[in-house]
């Protein structure tokens, strides 16, 4: 993983220099490498906006945020033109390496065009991870946290077997985790079939190796118990995420699999609505509160699990031919969907997410792209829009792609805010994201990994069909 960190001091020399400006002893020549003038800086913790500011960057660190017009020394200045400044965005659930390293190396340089500076890659083959790590220094893309092959304890009728590590009941967990670490994995992703004892063994092995544990909720175990065992994040609004809410999630999971892959005749919207209606809401909220207290965060991936079919049909036409089949699989699960059924489906999704939000579980923005109908890059702006439509406040939407992943993934001291001492991943938006999530689709400037890109540069990076 390229961290984007540098050896620059965390604030101090430049602040001293600023205090000396205008004095006889002031040092001649520039101090900051870049000054981004005339921007409105949003505090990702509170939503407060510091109007008309200048961001001063030295190396790859933010040295100061000062009122615009302050006397400050910089090698280069750019005019932010009144844009809104936020940290670079995370896609906390992406499958960048899903196909192969070649595809990832072509896609990664496009992601900064969408304001994405950090991604968590949630599963790949060992060969793809190794090849990508070898070539990663030669490309200008986001910082990538990667899991490599995901850990499975059972086999399911889908998924690329080269991207799976099937763990036998008597497997040496330390050896299994050690092999993943040797490939260059930054964390361990658990997929399915781990009961309490095996999940605890995996979590302990990951802890001894120094790798976080993330992944899907395991059936038969409440989320708070999984969090106490060591799971740091849970992925998707799957039925297993709601274990401990008064129903058997496996019954609904089997119905969804039959609808999606077995032609059962049921539709996923109807199953989802039934599931949401059958849950014991007070029990759910209490369980999620315990999970939040244990340190758990959740990546709901609405782009993959609750994308409105009416929107999907338009998206399918824009996808490359090799991805349309995956999108068609998604659509087949909806059958002949009526407007009433779609409304009920979206309301069910909002209810599921609402229980998690009410309990105070931190939410992370992730797209699961290119699963189903998603596309790495443009899918993130849709995910943020969907989170807002499902009930998150504009500040909560912003936090899901900035502050929350920084905290949940171990970067709370270096990322997640535009503030002195933080790594300089600064995204400028043409609109205020606290007014409308549509602002995320309009990045107008980005500084990341030592390079400034203006709006034209970002336009050229983006995929031709995404605007």
| Tens of pLDDT, residues 354-367 | 999 999 999 999 99
| Letter string b/e over residues 205-223, b meaning 16 or more CB atoms within 10 A of that residue's CB | bbeebebbbbbbbbbbbbb
Structural domains in the chain, sorted by start: 13-87+417-461 (2.30.40.10), 89-408 (3.20.20.140)
Confidence of residue 8 (pLDDT cuts 50, 70, 90): very low
At residue 11, the pLDDT reads: 41
List beta partners, residue 77: 35
Tell me the average pLDDT of the chain: 90
Question: What percent of the chain lies above the pLDDT cut of 90?
Answer: 72
At residue 3, the pLDDT reads: 52
Q: Cα angle vertex 358, ends 353, 364, to 5°?
A: 55
Peptide bond into 182 cis (omega under 30): no
* Strand ranges of the sheet holding 32-42, from the earlier edge strand across to the other edge: 61-67, 49-58, 32-42, 74-87, 426-429, 443-448, 451-454
Is the pLDDT score of 275 beyond 60? yes
Confidence of residue 286 (pLDDT cuts 50, 70, 90): very high
- What's the rounded mean pLDDT across residues 443-465? 93
Is the pLDDT score of 1 beyond 80? no
Residue 382 has which token pair?
Answer: 């849709």
Is the pLDDT score of 25 beyond 60? no
Confidence of residue 155 (pLDDT cuts 50, 70, 90): confident
Give 41's Cβ-side CA count (13 Å radius).
25
Is the pLDDT higher at 175 or at 13? 175
- What's the rounded mean pLDDT across residues 254-271? 86
Whether 49 contacts 394, CB under 8 Å: no
Q: Which of 11-15, 43-47, 399-403 shows the lowest per-residue confidence on average (mean pLDDT)?
A: 11-15
Is the pLDDT score of 23 beyond 50? no
Residue 304 has which token pair?
Answer: 């993959």
Is the pLDDT score of 467 beyond 90? no
Is the pLDDT score of 40 beyond 90? yes
Confidence of residue 328 (pLDDT cuts 50, 70, 90): confident
Question: What percent of the chain lies above the pLDDT cut of 70?
Answer: 92
At residue 200, the pLDDT reads: 93
pLDDT in tens, 189-235: 999 899 899 999 999 999 999 999 999 999 878 899 999 999 999 99
pLDDT in tens, 175-199: 999 999 999 999 999 998 998 999 9
Q: Cα separation of 253 and 248, whole Å?
A: 9
**Candidate ranges 36-50, 196-210, 294-308, 323-337; pick with highest mean pLDDT:** 36-50
Burial class of residue 158, CB neighbours in 10 A (0-12, 13-18, 19+): exposed
pLDDT in tens, 117-144: 999 999 999 999 999 999 999 999 999 9
- What's the rounded mean pLDDT across residues 313-341? 80
pLDDT in tens, 83-115: 999 999 999 999 999 888 999 999 999 999 999
* Pairing label, strands 143-146, 32-42: unpaired
Confidence of residue 465 (pLDDT cuts 50, 70, 90): low
Is the pLDDT score of 35 beyond 80? yes
For 357, residues 6+ apart whose C-beta sits below 8 A from its C-beta are 363, 391, 392, 396
**Candidate ranges 127-141, 154-168, 255-269; pick with highest mean pLDDT:** 127-141
């Amino acid at each position: 993983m390229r961290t984007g960190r540098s050896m620059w001091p965390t604030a101090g020399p430049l602040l001293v220099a600023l205090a000396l400006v205008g004095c006889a002893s002031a040092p001649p020549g520039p101090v900051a490498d870049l000054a981004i003038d005339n921007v409105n800086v949003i505090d990702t913790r509170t939503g407060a906006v510091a109007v008309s500011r200048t961001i001063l960057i030295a190396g790859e660190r933010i040295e100061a945020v000062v009122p615009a017009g302050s006397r400050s020394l910089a090698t280069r200045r750019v005019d932010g033109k009144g844009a809104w400044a936020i940290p670079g965005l995370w896609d906390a659930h992406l499958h960048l390496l899903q196909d192969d390293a070649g595809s990832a190396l072509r896609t990664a340089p496009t992601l900064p065009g969408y304001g994405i500076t950090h991604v968590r890659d949630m599963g790949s083959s060992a060969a793809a991870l190794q090849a990508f790590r070898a070539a990663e220094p030669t490309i200008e893309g986001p910082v990538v946290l990667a899991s490599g092959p995901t850990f499975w304890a059972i086999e399911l009728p889908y998924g690329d077997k080269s991207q799976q590590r099937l763990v036998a009941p008597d497997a040496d967990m330390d050896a299994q985790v050690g092999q993943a670490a040797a490939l260059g994995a930054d964390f361990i992703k658990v997929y399915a079939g781990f009961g309490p004892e095996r999940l605890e063994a995996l979590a302990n092995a990951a802890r001894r190796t120094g790798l976080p544990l993330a992944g899907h909720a395991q059936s038969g175990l409440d989320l708070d118990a999984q969090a106490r065992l060591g799971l740091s994040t849970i992925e998707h609004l799957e039925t297993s995420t709601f274990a401990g809410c008064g129903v058997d999630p496996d019954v609904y999971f089997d119905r969804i699999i039959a609808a999606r892959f077995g032609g059962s005749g049921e539709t996923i919207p109807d199953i989802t609505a039934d599931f949401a209606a059958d849950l014991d809401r007070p029990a759910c909220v209490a369980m999620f509160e315990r999970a939040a207290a244990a340190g758990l965060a959740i990546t709901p991936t609405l782009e993959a699990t609750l994308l409105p079919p009416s929107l999907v049909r338009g998206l399918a036409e824009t996808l490359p031919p090799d991805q349309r089949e995956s999108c068609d699989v998604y659509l087949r699960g909806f059958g002949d969907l009526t407007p009433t059924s779609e409304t009920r489906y979206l309301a069910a999704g909002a209810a599921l997410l609402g229980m998690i939000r009410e309990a105070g579980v931190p939410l992370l923005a992730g797209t699961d792209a290119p699963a189903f109908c998603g596309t790495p890059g443009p899918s993130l702006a849709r995910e943020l829009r969907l989170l807002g439509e499902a009930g998150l406040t504009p500040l909560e939407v912003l936090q899901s792609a900035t502050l929350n992943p920084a905290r949940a993934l171990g970067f709370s001291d270096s990322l997640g805010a535009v503030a002195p001492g933080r790594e300089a991943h600064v995204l400028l938006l043409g609109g205020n994201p606290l007014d409308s999530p549509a602002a995320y689709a309009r990045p107008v400037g980005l500084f990341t990994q030592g390079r400034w890109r203006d709006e034209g540069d970002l336009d050229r990076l983006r995929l031709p069909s995404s605007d």
